[in-house]
Amino acid sequence: MSNSTATLAPKRPPQRATARRARKNGNKWRRGWFIAVLAVLSATPLLFHRWVPNSFGNMGSLLDTFLPWVGVAVPILAVAALVRRSAIAGVALLLPAIVWGGMFGNQLIPQSTGGAYDLRVLSHNVDAANPDPKRTATDLLAADADIVALEELTAADLKIYKAAFAKKYPYQVTRDTVALWSKYPVEESESVDVGFAWTRALRAEVDTPEGKVAVYVAHLASVRIGTSGFTSDQRNKTIKALGRQIAAEKLAGVIVMGDFNGTATDRSLAPLTYGLRSAQGAAGHGFGFTWPSAFPMARIDHILVRGVQPTKAWVMDSTGSDHRPVVAELKI
């Protein structure tokens, strides 16, 4: 009998346990096919949104307007995939995640170059039903902009803004429901016809210390979402009218501000945005949603430029209006 201690061989797991584990791992790839299909389908509107026609209820423009929100499907389906412990659903979710990231990921990266700027501009739809325009005026003054553009002014509220801005902004241009205040001289101004019975757009030449710039302030026609779809025909006419005017602008530096009732992703805004840069896209951070102010879901208030360089752009907090103000710093 040997004195050496025998080495005990490790016990092998029972065959049943091994088979059970294999089935469990295999089930990860078999379960959750419905979630996987939904994941692939959620990428479809991102990949083919330009193929959705506007011929029926302007559905293409409606999808364009809220396109970034399609990405919400990814975290929702990811939670479902985790609950189901579905490997196939997890892999399928890579498709919408990668597509969304390719389309909108750069907007999550700060674009601001910071540093010195020549001009700070601000645009705000102050809301005709604003219950406290005095508070709104105070908030806007705190932004210390060089040029302020306001839209949807009533005759009564205009008096309040004139009184509030008088000391800080010696130069002012008013055309019905739109107005501009400036720290710098306004050499010329005129109404811009965009197809309304009353004026909803203006042009002003502002003589800044760095040179003269053309500033446009506009409030384009509203849109409606109803049983007939996305009603935007009148807005689209105003877009084309304003776009023609800006395309013919002779000054090198152009700043276009206002409530366009449409997002930069809406194909219908192309006649206006062509040749212009979005200050938010060039020097902002995030999507810069402005409407509705309580829970912004779309950026329909814009600062667009040509011949000037945005260095920083942001959205202010709510001022009591149903829109939020947008601000940009520009290098001329």
Break the chain into its structural domains and give their ranges: 15-108, 119-331
Domain 119-331 in this protein, CATH class = alpha beta
Contact 280, 313 (CB under 8 A): yes
Phi, psi of 292 (to 5 degrees): -75, 155
What is the value of pTM for the model shown?
Answer: 0.86
Residue whose C-alpha is closest to residue 210's, from 312, 311, 310, 332: 332
Which residues, 6 or more positions from 326, have their beta carbon under 8 angstroms from its beta carbon?
Answer: 122, 123, 124, 257, 279, 280, 288, 290, 301, 302, 303, 313, 314, 315, 316
Helices (DSSP H) in the chain: which residue ranges?
15-30, 33-48, 59-65, 73-84, 87-92, 94-104, 133-142, 155-165, 233-247, 270-273, 279-283
Contact 229, 62 (CB under 8 A): yes
Residue whose C-alpha is closest to residue 296's, from 42, 65, 128: 65
CA distance 272 to 144: 28
Per-residue pLDDT of the chain (332 residues; tens, 9 = 90+): 445 555 555 555 566 555 555 455 556 677 889 999 999 999 999 999 989 887 776 788 888 889 999 999 999 999 999 999 999 999 999 999 999 999 999 888 888 777 789 999 999 999 999 999 999 999 999 999 999 999 999 999 999 999 999 999 999 999 999 999 999 999 999 999 887 767 899 999 999 999 999 999 999 987 766 555 556 677 888 899 999 999 999 999 999 999 999 898 888 899 999 999 999 999 999 999 999 999 999 999 999 999 999 999 999 999 999 999 999 999 99
